[in-house]
């Protein structure tokens, strides 16, 4: 105690502030750092180590907590009302679009909304309507409308967002 609050109270205050930050700006990140600060407070209260050790302990606990939290969320993904919310190309699958540059040799361009995208699929003349069946980066895979399943590529394996 140096004329103010004891160290463990500062750690508890930091934990509370980080928890409030997580509530105000959810990102599933600062809650794990808040847990590390709270655990640091408990250990500081029990053992009263010097400040340098407290900071090192907090750094190690924060790293461990964030890593454990990321692993937990990888194994237990949060269900979403709109799983394609941030995946623009996935939202396009099933959409009927207009061929603007003929698809020849499996490659051409299609109009999606007010933009033009590269497309792959069976040969089609400009002005033909095709349906998007798959997206790979900025390239759309299409098939002629009415050919359900013809030329459809298998859906790729979903990749985790975090390593």
129-143 pLDDT, tens digit per residue, is 999 999 998 899 999
Domain hosting residue 19, numbered range = 7-75
β strands within the chain, DSSP E: 96-104, 107-112, 115-120, 129-136, 139-144
Contacts of 46 (CB under 8 A, 6+ apart): none
Residue 150: pLDDT band with limits 50, 70, 90: very low
Residues 70, 95, single domain; the answer is: no
Instruction: Judge if 51 and 109 occupy the same domain.
Output: no
Number of domains, the chain: 2
The answer to whether residue 163 sits within a structural domain is: no
- Answer yes or no: is 93 within a domain: yes
In tens, the pLDDT along 22-34 reads 999 987 789 999 9
Do both 100 and 127 map to the same domain?
Answer: yes
Same domain, 45 and 96: no
User: What CATH code is carried by the domain that includes residue 108?
Assistant: 2.40.50.140
Is the pTM higher than 0.95? The answer reads no
Nearest to 123 by CA among 150, 96, 148: 150
Element (H, E) at 52: helix 51-75
pLDDT tens-place string over residues 72-113: 988 998 888 888 888 888 889 999 999 999 999 999 999 999
Residue 62's pLDDT is: 97
């Amino acid at each position: 105690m140096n004329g103010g609050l004891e160290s463990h109270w500062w750690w508890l205050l930091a934990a509370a502030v980080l928890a409030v930050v997580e509530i105000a700006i959810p990102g599933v990140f600062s809650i794990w750092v808040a847990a590390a600060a709270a655990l640091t407070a408990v250990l500081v209260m029990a053992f009263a180590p010097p400040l340098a050790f407290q900071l090192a302990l907090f750094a190690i606990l924060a790293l461990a907590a964030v890593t454990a939290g990321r692993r937990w969320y990888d194994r237990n993904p949060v269900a979403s009302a709109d799983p394609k919310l941030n995946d623009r190309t996935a939202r396009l699958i099933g959409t009927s679009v207009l061929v603007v540059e003929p698809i020849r040799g499996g490659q051409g361009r299609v109009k999606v909304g007010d933009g033009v995208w590269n497309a792959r699929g069976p040969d089609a003349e400009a002005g033909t309507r095709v349906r998007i069946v798959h997206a790979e980066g900025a390239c759309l895979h299409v098939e002629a409308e009415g050919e359900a399943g013809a030329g459809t590529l298998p859906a790729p394996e979903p990749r985790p967002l975090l390593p």
